[in-house]
Amino acid sequence: LPEAFLDFLKENGVDPSIYTPRYIRLKPGIQQLEAEFKSKLEKVGWLPNFYSLPPQIHIANSMAYKEGKIYGIDAASGAAVSALNVSEGDHVLDLCAAPGAKLCMTLDLIGNSGSVTGVDVARHRLAACRTMIQKYALGDRCRLFVADGTTFSLIPVFKEWTSKRPWKERKNAKKARVIGLSRTELGYDKVLVDAECTHDGSIRHIQKFDHWGWETLERRVLDAERTDSLTVLQFRLLSNGFRLLKVGGSLVYSTCSLTAAQNEDVVEQFLRENASAELQEIDAATNWPCKSGGIPKTLRFDPLTSQTSGLFVAKFTKL
């Protein structure tokens, strides 16, 4: 790792040895997969239906992957979805949906009722979501919108869906915008805000600088001006997601950054400015291999402690 990044880690109290590659995948059909991969898959005991694969195995070439039986998702990302406690029939908003693994997991959890609305500002990234939900045949109760998550305002679909293509891809969702939600029942039951960040806690992202060139790391991760603009974006995403949440609903805010500025600082500012927001204990986290965050009831995953990518998780309810 370059000296500038080592200094960055030291300032944030992070041990550089956490950047050891580990790969965790979601896999139904464990016996068949072990035969195909010719490798023992280790069950993740603290997260249902998750298994770990040795890093030398690439799932993209497997028949199980090509047939849509498995998809890659880090266990920490799965924990963020699990923290929402999604139930069948819930109407869920994924405000930063791309590239789509968490969206797929949420669709698995809602079953044959409820809905999931996925939003992303980039058309090509949302196209990746569309490809995933089509590949895994999960699109029956999903809508996709190309839209700015800080201003997105569509309410959930409450009636039974009759369209053969219920997902929608719109460059701009303003025509159906709701300026204010005057009735609490119009909001979403659950909202996930896995916000854009510097990705410094993501093992796979940091490894990409071997190809991109480490000099680009300072511009993408260490530049103070970019970090300041990201924290403004993160606060606005969190605020809008909370606005679209129904009273009594749950919102999870997460980033794969290890910095306090993009996590605890954003949460503290949000709580100061939103009297109806309250942090919740994450009940599912009783046995999770993670640390407490810098604010009570928040959590932090990292490769050293959790054997996952780094992730900060905070859960709110609306009073």
**Annotated catalytic residue within 96, 104, 129, 256:** 256
Does 90 appear as a known binding residue? no
Does 200 appear as a known binding residue? no
Q: Exposed, middle or buried: residue 185 (CB in 10 Å: 0-12, 13-18, 19+)?
A: exposed
What residue type is 147 in one-letter code? A
Sign of CA dihedral 127, 132, 134, 138: negative
256 in active site: yes
Does 7 appear as a known binding residue? no
Per DSSP, the residues of the chain read: --HHHHHHHHHTT--GGG----EEEE-S-HHHHHHHHTSPPEE-TTSTTEEEE-TT--GGGSHHHHTTS-EE--HHHHHHHHHT---TT-EEEETT-TT-HHHHHHHHHHTTSSEEEEEES-HHHHHHHHHHHHHTT-GGGEEEEE--TTT--PPPP-SPP--SS-----S--GGG--S---SGGGSEEEEEEE-----TT-HHHHHTHHHH-THHHIIIII-HHHHHHHHHHHHHHHHHHHHTEEEEEEEEEEES---STTTHHHHHHHHHH-TTEEE---GGGGG-S-EE-SSTT-EEE-HHHHSS--EEEEEEEE-
Q: Are 309 and 204 in contact (CB under 8 A)?
A: yes
Question: Would you list which residues are annotated within the binding site for S-adenosyl-L-methionine?
Answer: 120, 148, 194
Question: Would you list which residues are annotated within the binding site?
Answer: 120, 148, 194
- As annotated, the active-site residues are 256
